[in-house]
Amino acid sequence: MSADGRRSPELALLPELGDLVDTLAGLDRAGRIEALIALAESFHEVSESLARRPFPERNRVPACESQAFVFAGLRADGRLDYHFAVENPQGISAKALAAILSRTLSGAPLEAVVQIPVEVVEQLFGRELSLGKSLGLAGMLLAVQREARDRMKQVKAETVQV
């Protein structure tokens, strides 16, 4: 949310993500931590039908201390479902963000996904994160956006060919 209390235009396109940002921003530090741990507990790893170990390096999130991987599954309507693997069992922040991104961005318009500002990570987790964690979590969002951009390019190429 902006300083004047209005939701950013990018998050207005993704109401479920915007609502979650607003909810977490309204909590004190302890409440935010508790909510993020609960989100991490709701994390479901990518199914073996979509990806198997060892995961492809192309899907690895650079700079992520928790060794996260991002995968996209294509929906019939051309939108994407986002799936994650987090190799570090103690990667609670990565699991929480994976659960958030999977829940709020799967099926969302690709154009909206690529417009999410990276600052949303700080809005979700607060300013207490270490630089390393912040970079890794931002990298998870950027990897999701890369998948969305790649799909948009593919659709454009298919349209040109027809």
CATH (domain of 61): 3.90.1010.10
Question: Is 162 inside any structural domain?
Answer: no
Please state the pTM of the whole predicted model: 0.93
- Is it the case that residue 3 has pLDDT exceeding 60? no
Domain boundaries, position 17: 9-153
- Is it the case that residue 127 has pLDDT exceeding 60? yes
Mean pLDDT of all residues in 89-101: 97
Question: Is 35 inside any structural domain?
Answer: yes
User: What total of structural domains would you count in the chain?
Assistant: 1
Question: Is 3 inside any structural domain?
Answer: no
Question: Is 114 inside any structural domain?
Answer: yes
Banded pLDDT at 128 (limits 50, 70, 90): confident
103-135 burial code (b ≥16 CB/10 A, e <16)? bbbbebebebbbbbeeebbebbbbeebeeebbb
Q: How much is the pLDDT for 4? A: 45
Place of tokens 């999130």: 61
Question: Is 95 inside any structural domain?
Answer: yes
